[in-house]
Amino acid sequence: MKQYLDLVQTILENGIDKTDRTGTGTKSIFGYQYRVDLQAGFPLLTTKKIVISSVVNELLWFLKGSTNIHDGLNSKIWDPWADADGNVGPIYGYQWRQWEQFRPDESGQPVKRHIDQIQTVIDTIKTNPDSRRLIVSAWNVADLDQMALPPCHLLFQFYVRGDYLDCQLYQRSADVAIGVPFNIASYSLLLSMIAQECNRLPGHFIHTIGDAHIYTDHVDGLREQLTRPTQTLPTIRIANKPFDQITADDIVVDNYQPAPFIRFPISV
C-alpha cells in the first residue's frame, strides 16, 4: 500500500531522533495524514504478512467491551501489558461500549450507568446521517491511570457521503512498523462492519497521526519492506448478520498474497 510506504519513507528521511518511555529511541515526525479508498480493495499490507486473524480477534474483543485477555481475545498481542490475572483495565473496548457516567437520582445520590458509544453512533447514522457528532472516544481522562496502556488510537469519527460511509481516526502515537499496519486493517474492518449494518458502502479510511515514529531497532526491517513490490490488495467478505452477532468465522479475506513476515521486536 503506497500510502503506508510513503509514511515510512518520510520518517526515515525527515524524522528527528527522540527518546521515548521504553528507552529504545525513535525517529519521529508530528502531524501526518493519508487517505485510503476501501473500494480499491481491503488495505491489508502486502509488503509483509499481516496476521489477519489477530486483527479480527482483537477488534471483536474490543467490541465486546472486554478488559481481560482471557475473555475471548484468542491472541497474544496484549500479553505484555496484562497483569497476572489477564486484566488490562478499562481500555478501548470498555470505553467504546461501557463509558461510565454518574448522574444524580431523585435523592441526589450519584447513580452509575454505561454509555454504548458504538451503538449510539450506529443509531445516529441510521436516523441522522448528516450529524457531525458521529464520534467515538477512548480517551477517558478519569480512567487513564487504570489502563494498562493509555489509548494510542484514541478517537474516530464517521461521515456519511451519499451511499458511502467514511471514517477518520486520530492516533496520538503510532508505532509505524508494528502498530500502523494493524490499525489500518482494524479500523477498515470496523468501518466495513458499521457500513454494512447501516446499509452503506465502506468509503474512505482517513488516518491522522500525531507522533508517527519508527523505533531504532525497526529501521532495517522497514528498509527491507521499501524494496519489496506491492501486490494487488485483497478483498473482504463479512456475513450479512446483525452487527453484534458477527464472529471471527463470519469475516473472510480473499486473495491476500503478501511478502514474507518480518519480525519486529516490541518495545513495552
Alpha helical stretches, state H, 154-254: 179-197, 219-227
Spatial distance between the Cα atoms of 187 and 210, rounded to a whole number of angstroms: 17
Q: Is 152 a catalytic residue?
A: yes
State residue 44 phi and psi, 5-degree precision: -100, 120
Q: How many other β-carbons are positioned within 10 Å of the β-carbon of residue 236?
A: 23
- Measured in whole angstroms, how far is the alpha carbon of residue 172 from the centre of its chain? 12
Catalytic residue, chosen from 1, 125, 134, 152, is 152
How is residue 21 written as a grid cell? 518511555
Distance CA(53)–CA(56), nearest Å, equals: 5
Start-to-end Cα distance in the chain: 27
Contacts of 127 by beta carbon, 8 Å cutoff, 6+ apart: none
Which three cell numbers, joined as nine digits, stand for 135?
A: 464520534
Burial 142-157 (b: 16+ CB within 10 A, else e): ebeeebbebbbbbbbb
**DSSP-based three-state secondary structure for 189:** helix
Three cell numbers, residue 60: 471483536
The cell for 107 is 435523592
- Cβ–Cβ < 8 Å for 121, 158: yes
For the annotated catalytic residues, the residue numbers are 152
